[in-house]
Structure 1
Amino acid sequence: MDKPGTLHIVATPIGNLGDISARALEVLGSVDAICAEDTRHTRQLLSHFAMERPLLALHQHNEEAQADQLVARLQAGESLALVSDAGTPLVSDPGFRLVRAARAAGIRVSPVPGACAAIAALSVAGIASDRFAFEGFLPAKAGARRERLARLAAEPRTLVFYESAHRIEESLGDMAAAFGPDRRAVLARELTKLFETVLDGGLAELLARVQADPNQRKGEFVLVVEGVVDEAESQLIEGRRLYGKLSAHLPPSAAAKLAAELSGAPRKALYGGDS
C-alpha cells in the first residue's frame, strides 16, 4: 500500500510578492497538485516565479463535494498544497472541510506559514495585541451587521475585522454608533501594496477621513478596534444591551435583575425601580 501523502497549507503574499517564503516556493514546486480558491489568480502567482503545477479549484461552493476525492488522492500517495487567493488559507477563506477530512483520514496536514492580513494590521496598529478576537467579515445586511456589533460593544479584547471597499463607509458608521465615535481604531488599507495606508483615530474621525478621500474607499481593508479597557464599563455596556432585549419580554425590574446577573453590571444602573 502506498504511503499517504501530505496536505500542505501554504500561505502566499497578501500583496507584495517578495513576501513569499523560500519554503513556500519549495513546497509549491514539489507537490503533485495545488488546490486553489481561484485557479486564475494562483496561475499568475506561479507564473511570476516561473513555476507550473496542476491546479484544482477548491472554493466555498465545491469544497464539501471535492474533499473526499482529494483525500483519496492523498491516501494514494499524492501530496497536495492548499492556497487561498492571498495570505494564510482558512483565515476567512474556505478549506477547513478539506483539512478536517484529511485529519480524520489520518493524513498529515502541515502548515507553511507566512503572510496574514489580520496579523500584519495588528503589528502596525499600536493597539494592544496580547488578546484579540478575529471577527472576519461582518454581515452584509445592515440589520445583522448592527446586531453583531451590538454584541461586541462590551468586548475587552482588541477586535479585528476584514471589510470590502463597497461597505467600508457603512461598517465604520455602524461601528461608531455601536462602540462610540471616540473608540480608538486603525484602518489598514492595501497592506504591502503600492497604495498602502494606515490611518488611526476615533471611529468617527476615521469615517470622516474615508468619506473625504475617494482613494481611502478603494482596495482591501483591515479594521483594528480597541476593546473596552475598563471592566466596569464593559459590564455596563453588556448589561444595558441585555436589559434592552429582556425588557421586551419581562417586567423592567425582573429584566434588570437578570441582565445584572448575566453581565455583572449594577442592577440600579440598568433600572432605577425598586427591587
Structure 2
Amino acid sequence: MKKILMGVLCLSTLLCGCTKNKDIQIDDKKVGQVKLKFDHIVGAKKLVLNDGTYSNNSNETFNINILKYFVSNIKFTKTNGEVFTIPKEESFFLINASQSESLQPTLNIPEGEYQTLEFNLGVDSLTNTLPVEKRAGVLDVATNGMYWDWNSGYIHFKIEGTSAASPNASKSYKYHIGFFGGYETRTVNNNRVIKIDLTKAGISKVQENLSSDIHLMVDIGKVFDGPNSMSIATTPMVMHSGPHSDIADNYATMFTHDHTHNFQKIANNEK
C-alpha cells in the first residue's frame, strides 16, 4: 500500500512539474505577439474548398469555391477594462480561404491579460471614402477582387460555389456583400462588429518575445442557417440587390472562440 501511495505522490509531483503555470510580470511598455487563427468549418465539417460537400437547413447540398472577407479595426480589452486599439493602418486583413498564410493575422500589442477581442467584419465607411492612393496592401482596389468599381465600395464578404439546388444554368451561387452607408446617397451599412468573450475558453496572456494564439472557429454554414434562413434555390445570387443585410446579420454569427494557446515560441520567420 505504501508503495502504491508513494507511486501516486511521485506521479503527482511529475505532473505538477510539467504544468505551465506562469504568473507573468506585466510591463505595458513591453510588446508581445497575438496571433488570430481562423479555422473554417461548415457545421461539423472542416471547410475544403472545391471538393467538400455540405448541406444547409433547406436540405440543399453545396460546395464552396471562393471564400474571402475583411477583418479590420481590431481591439482588445484587458481584464481591468483597459482597451487597446490596433493602429488603424495596421488593422486591415483579408482572410482568404485559398491562402493559408492569410488565416493567421499577427499583431503586436502591449503585455497584459486580455478578456475580449473585437473586430469589424468589413471595411468601414471612413476607409471606403479615403483617396484611392491612400489604400495600400489588401485595400488596393486593383487587387484581390474585393472592390466594386461600378459602385465605388469594398466587398466586405464574398462566397461562391455550386449547388444542384441553384436555378442557374451553371448551378452556381454567389453572395458578394458590400455597402458601407454610401457617399452622397445613403445606403445600408453591412459592416458588422464581432465581439468575442475570451474568458470561457482562455484569456489571452501577452508577454514579450512570446505569442498568444487565439483560435477562432468560423462556421460558414451560418451564412445560410444563421438568424435568417437562406435558400440557394430561392436566392442564388446576392450583390447590390437582394437580402444582403440578412446575410450580413448571418455572417456576424460565424465566429466562436475555441481556445487560446499562451506563451508560444515565436518562429524566426515571424519576427
TM-score (norm 2): 0.22
Structure with the largest fraction of helix? 1
Structure with the largest fraction of strand? 2
Which has more radius of gyration? 1
TM-score (norm 1): 0.21
Greater RCO (Cα-Cα under 8 Å, separation 6 or more): 2
